[in-house]
Amino acid sequence: MARFPQAFYARPAREVAVALLGKRLVRLLDGRRVAGIIVETEAYCDADEPDLACHGDRANQGRPTARSEIMFGPAGFAYVYFTYGMHWMFNVVTGREGKANAVLVRALEPFEGEEIIAQNRPGRRRREWTNGPARLAQALAIDKSLNGANLFAPDGVLWVEEGWTVRPEAVCVGPRVGLGQTPEPWFSMPWRFWLSGNPFVSI
DNA sequence: AGCACGATTAACT
DNA sequence: GTTAATCGTGCTC
């Protein structure tokens, strides 16, 4: 199965966020495939619009910082950041170079390498392996070392490829999760997307 | 140099 | 339903 090319990611974040639903996120660990179907995403900074929930727009007057610079770069790279003192979040960089633009992957349905996922999520039931952004990062061993990883390089260890066929009417839309003090209108913008009824959606 | 807080999770009552 | 955990980042002094 082929890795999606850079052109797949070089579109506005909302478009990519929807396109990612049903696709397969693959992680190569010791030469073995560990993968899940993407069932929930969130868009941050769609196209050229501002988004005060987005790290790229919230800090440093919309200019890159040490943390967010990857998001300002070209599409098709991983933006992995650390939060709450213990969790890693995995995003794909979208849009055009020069503007922060990314999609947070919030949940997967386990699909391949489940015995490795089980090792990475010890003591948890299958239902709780990958139903949240920090949980799926732990399940696929995604951390700081993958910040800036190329998702379309032939020799990469993390990529997206074909998965399920998703009917448009199966895509649900709603406001993003966990935005805290983010002001309106961004707090309520319906930029969270998920597959209707999928048991691995985080909320 | 110091401080407040976070695109969350797990373990409580 | 409530709250502790835990530290990098960005901002202020």
- A20-73 pLDDT, tens per residue? 999 999 999 999 999 999 999 999 998 888 999 999 999 999 999 999 999 999
Task: Name the 3-class secondary structure at A87.
Answer: strand
pLDDT of residue A82: 98
Task: Check if the beta carbon of residue A88 is closer than 8 Å to that of residue A144.
Answer: yes
Half-sphere exposure of A185 (CA within 13 A, CB side): 6
**Residue A202 included in any domain:** no
Q: Residue A139 CA to nucleotide C4 C1', Å? A: 23
Question: What residues in chain A have per-residue pLDDT under 50?
Answer: none
pLDDT of residue A48: 84
Task: Check if the beta carbon of residue A194 is closer than 8 Å to that of residue A22.
Answer: no
Domain that holds residue A10: 6-195
**Residue A142 included in any domain:** yes
CATH number at residue A30: 3.10.300.10
Q: Residue A85 CA to nucleotide C5 C1', Å? A: 8
Number of structural domains (chain A) is: 1
Residues 96-155 of A with CB under 7 A from strand B: 102, 104, 121, 123-124, 128, 132-135
Question: Two tokens at A97?
Answer: 């170079």
**Residue A203 included in any domain:** no
Distance CA A107, CA A31 (A): 23
Shortest-distance nucleotide from A81 CA to C1': C8
> Is the pTM here over 0.85, yes or no?
yes
Q: How far is CA A121 from the centre of its chain?
A: 19
**Residue A201 included in any domain:** no
**Residue A69 included in any domain:** yes
